[in-house]
Amino acid sequence: MLILGLESTCDESSASILEAPTDILVNVVKSQIDDLKKYGGVVPEIASRLHLNYLIGTINEALEKSSKSISDIDLIAVSHRPGLLGGLLVGTTIAKTLSLLLKKPLIMVDHLYGHLVASDLDKGIQYPCVAGIFSGAHSNIYYGKDDLTWEMICKSRDDAPGEAFDKVSKLMGLGYPGGPAIQKIAENRNDKMFKIPSPVPKSLNGDFSFSGIKTHILYQIKGSNAKTACPKENYPDLAASFQKSVAEGLSKRLIDCALEKNVKNIYIGGGVAANQILRSYLQEKSNEQGIKSEYPPLSLCVDNAAMIARAGYILHESGVKSNLSDNVYSRSVWGLDC
């Protein structure tokens, strides 16, 4: 069975062809980063117009690279939540049109479910497990009982970690996207020079908060309460201290959740899961507890349509059906109704 996956929730236009169950024939991702850099981040209206320009091109490229024709496709999977509504409308309208014309089933996928099952396309997921989605918009940890049964354990009360990386990067004049820029300048720098608040404040019962960290860095950079501003030459140390605090907070919370749920496998996904310090810190600390942590390759951490195709396939096999009247939504409901 060949599944065409489509992704357009934020600033990546992506089309993938997956040979069921897990063989990625092609995963074309057209990032809008170069177009959006001049605005300092994602502008929803501009992003949706760029999806309109790019998405059909990614489908054609995927078909060409996999030597398949559109009539070979058996199932169409598309993200319909959570995300920017304009982009979601572009993706779902293309998917619905293809489904109608080709008379092939359509599956609407929660994008966060896509991130959760992305690890299936790498080494495979062993259930039960705990999985964290850390991206530009989310900081959620889930308990996965089996491939269809997920329960959200905790979330962020305000910003997401990717958003914090992006904002700190902007404050340091490093531009967008912030994650890779912060990771780069922080390399081999002193991550103990600055004391940064934890993203898991005691008062939030295990939920995350990133707004305090962001404000803390703002005060460090601008100076406050008679404190002098951090000199520019120390920005890399400030970036390293910030990155370490985020990596430690996310890892510690993941490991605590795994211990609470008595599971031996942790997975991470979403753009921030590409962070090398988070990856190595999580692996080291989870190993100490006898827990295995896995993360997919970078190409499957960031937004991509292969993970949407995989999620669509699992839903289709379980009998889930979508139809042409299904809508788009800005919020996820994945793992909230278990």
Residues paired with 292 in a beta bridge: 265
Q: How far is the CB of 145 from ligand KG4 (least distance, A)?
A: 24
Q: Which stretch binds ligand KG4 (CB under 6 A): 64-72, 177-185, 201-209, 323-331?
A: 177-185
| Stretch 148-167 residues interacting with Zn ion (CB under 5 A) | none
Q: How far is the CB of 35 from ligand KG4 (least distance, A)?
A: 15
Question: Among ligand KG4, Zn ion, none, what does residue 275 contact (CB within 5–8 Å per kind)?
Answer: ligand KG4
CA distance 29 to 307: 12
Given a contact cutoff of 8 angstroms between Cβ atoms, the answer to whether 161 and 209 are in contact is no
Residue nearer to Zn ion on the CB measure, 13 or 135: 135
Q: Is 110 in the site for Zn ion (CB under 5 A)?
A: no
Residues 6+ apart with CB under 8 A from 133: 112, 115, 116, 139, 140, 141, 142, 268, 269, 270
Q: How far is the CB of 260 from ligand KG4 (least distance, A)?
A: 26
| Stretch 213-272 residues interacting with ligand KG4 (CB under 6 A) | 270-272
Q: How far is the CB of 111 from Zn ion (least distance, A)?
A: 6
Residue 234 CB burial class (10 angstroms; 0-12, 13-18, ≥19): middle
Task: Give which of 102, 75, 94, 74 is closest to 8, Cα–Cα.
Answer: 94
Task: Kindly write out the interface string for residues 290-309 of this chain, putting x where it contacts Zn ion by CB under 5 A and - elsewhere.
Answer: -------------x------
Q: What is the size of the binding site for Zn ion (CB under 5 A)?
A: 2
> First-to-last CA distance in the chain?
29
Task: Give which of 160, 155, 150, 156 is closest to 263, Cα–Cα.
Answer: 150
Q: How far is the CB of 274 from ligand KG4 (least distance, A)?
A: 4
87 phi, psi to nearest 5 deg: -65, -40
Considering only 142, 150, 165, 235, the residue that binds ligand KG4 (CB under 6 A) is: 165
Task: Kindly write out the interface string for residues 111-140 of this chain, putting x where it contacts Zn ion by CB under 5 A and - elsewhere.
Answer: ------------------------x-----
